[in-house]
A = this chain, B = another copy of it.
């Protein structure tokens, strides 16, 4: 079963490469043993740096189910998710992740996954990208207003 699902993810990766739509990565979202979303990297086609296979598959699965949580779903992806996709996996509350290639394999063909993992672990002021902070009061006021709204929808 797991192997068949991985074949679906890898074939999505191959399809994306064939179409020259982005990096060589594919993913599927599975619910009750059935693939409900299948996607590949479309960074180049969509001119969207966030259009990784996992993000695309999560968005497609949410559209298919009409909700923003996938707690009864599993993700199968041809490569270990980068930090962006890992964050998306947690926000989507996916139940499990199965991957094939690793972050070092991605680095081996020219992708920055391993480096971004290192950068994330650093405090903001120690990163390559310049991070600075301004007075948070007005932002905090909006956050508190949201928290006080009884009609708010937490996620």
Measured CB to CB, the residues of A under 8 A from B are 2-3, 6-7, 9-10, 13-14, 17, 20, 22-24, 26, 43-44, 46-50, 52, 55, 58-59, 62-63, 66-70, 78-80, 82-102, 105-106, 108-110, 112, 116-117, 119-121, 124, 129-140, 142-147, 149, 151-155
Contacts and interface: CB of A to CB of B under 8 A. Distances in A.
Given A46-B68, A49-B62, 4 more contacts: A7-B138, A78-B139, A90-B119, A109-B146
Contacts of A146: 17, 23-24, 109
Most buried by B among A43, A135, A142, A144: A142
Contacts of A91: 43, 49-50, 52, 82, 84, 112, 116
Given A20-B151, A95-B130, A155-B43, A139 B79 contact: yes
Contacts of A140: 100-101, 105
